[in-house]
């Protein structure tokens, strides 16, 4: 779609002053998918030269905000990465353009990169135009449907996944109203060597919810924990699924994950 309100495109390496109507441009798959009437200037991140995937000395993994879905899929061998990439249900054109950072910053409930990085203890590196940086866990970065903690002019530089999280066993469940529809429920479970269990609920809720058990819970313990953690107002409601159905499927799929990781 032509964005006929845009009057200028700037290189992010040299752009300094942030103005009303400015938008960061990563892959552009969302920006160019519908009218952006308040956007006047695009600040292009494509020439920043950030390394898409960088293995850290401690075994962790740093994912640049500009890393595309295709680069993430090709550059990692973890099953959970492949499953979350496939959850996009998008064409190869989208895979080659859509970025991990864009998916997080759109902060939509169905964002599979949110599901992936939240489940693996991801930490966002945020950078202000002044150069000041701060770190925020992915689970705290998204605060509602289409809402996050970014300040005006602040950008998402990268997401770091710790080595300990990458070493955990994982289980993945996804549900949609249609065979190839948008995720209405996406739940990830991880089991550590100390037998602890983490369950991350996304897509069915307005933002990620994480539940930690120092042991393998029973079916009833898991259900009660979900009831305590996710308020009734947090179950998402749109054309891809009613809140009651999303809630029901979340309980069901979480139990399947518990059984798989037992």
Average pLDDT over residues 123-145: 96
Q: How far apart, in whole angstroms, are the C-alpha atoms of residue 152 and residue 128?
A: 8
**Apex 111 CA angle, 109 and 116, nearest 5:** 115
What is the value of pTM for the model shown?
Answer: 0.93
- Is the separation of the CB atoms in 43 and 12 below 8 Å? yes
- Decide if pLDDT at 222 tops 80: yes
Task: For the chain, list the domains and their CATH numbers.
Answer: 8-44 (no CATH), 53-162 (3.30.465.10), 169-261 (3.30.390.50)
Average pLDDT over residues 139-145: 98
Q: How far apart, in whole angstroms, are the C-alpha atoms of residue 82 and residue 74?
A: 9
Nearest CA to 71 out of 124, 137, 9, 26 is that of 26
Q: How far apart, in whole angstroms, are the C-alpha atoms of residue 187 and residue 109?
A: 12
Nearest CA to 5 out of 37, 48, 52, 45 is that of 37
Q: Lowest mean pLDDT of 9-13, 15-19, 50-54, 94-98, name the range.
A: 15-19
């Amino acid at each position: 779609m032509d964005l006929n309100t845009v009057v200028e495109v700037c290189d992010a390496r040299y752009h300094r002053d942030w103005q009303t109507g400015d938008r960061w441009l990563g892959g552009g798959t969302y920006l160019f998918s519908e009218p952006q009437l308040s956007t006047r200037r695009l600040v292009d991140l494509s020439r920043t030269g950030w390394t898409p995937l960088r293995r850290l000395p401690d075994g962790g993994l740093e994912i640049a905000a500009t890393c595309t879905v295709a680069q993430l899929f090709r550059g990692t061998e973890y099953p959970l990465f492949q499953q979350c990439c496939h959850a996009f249900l998008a064409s190869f054109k989208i895979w080659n353009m859509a970025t991990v950072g864009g998916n997080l910053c759109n902060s939509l409930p169905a964002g599979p990169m949110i599901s992936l990085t939240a489940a693996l203890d991801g930490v966002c590196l945020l950078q202000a135009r002044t150069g000041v940086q701060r770190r925020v866990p992915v689970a705290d970065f998204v605060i509602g449907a289409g809402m996050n903690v970014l300040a005006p002019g602040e950008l998402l530089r990268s997401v770091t996944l710790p080595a300990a999280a990458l070493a955990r066993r994982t289980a993945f469940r996804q549900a949609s109203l249609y065979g190839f529809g948008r995720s209405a429920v996406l739940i990830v479970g991880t089991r550590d060597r100390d037998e602890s269990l983490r369950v991350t609920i996304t897509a069915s809720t307005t933002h990620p919810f994480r539940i930690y058990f120092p042991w393998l819970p029973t079916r009833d313990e898991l259900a009660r924990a979900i009831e305590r953690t996710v308020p009734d107002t947090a179950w998402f409601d749109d054309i891809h699924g009613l809140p009651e159905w999303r809630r029901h499927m979340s309980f069901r799929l979480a139990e399947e994950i518990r059984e798989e990781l037992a």
